[in-house]
Structure 1
Amino acid sequence: MSRGPFAAGDRVQLTGPRARLHTITLEAGKQFHTHRGALDHDAIIGEPEGSVVTASNGDRYLALRPLLADFVMSMPRGAAIVYPKDAAQILAQADVFPGAVVVEAGVGSGALSLWLLRAIGPEGRLVSFERREEFADVARGNVAAFTGSVPPNWSVELGDLAERLPDVATPASVDRVVLDMLAPWECLDVVTEALAPGECCSATSRP
Structure 2
Amino acid sequence: MLTDVREWHAAPLSLPPQPAAWYQLGAAGGWQTLIADTVHPMAHDILAARCSGDPSVTRAWCDLPFAVPILCAQATAGGIHALQQAVMVLHAEGLPLQRAVVVLVGTADGRLPAVVRAAATMLSGRAAAVVHLPHDADIRASGLQAQPARIRSRTRQAARELATAVLSAARESFGDPLPDAPQPAPLPAVAVPAV
TM-score (norm 1): 0.29
> Which one has a larger percent strand, Structure 1 or Structure 2?
1
> Which one has a larger percent helix, Structure 1 or Structure 2?
2
* Larger of the two Rg values belongs to structure: 1
State the structure with bigger RCO (CA 8 A, min sep 6), 1 or 2: 2
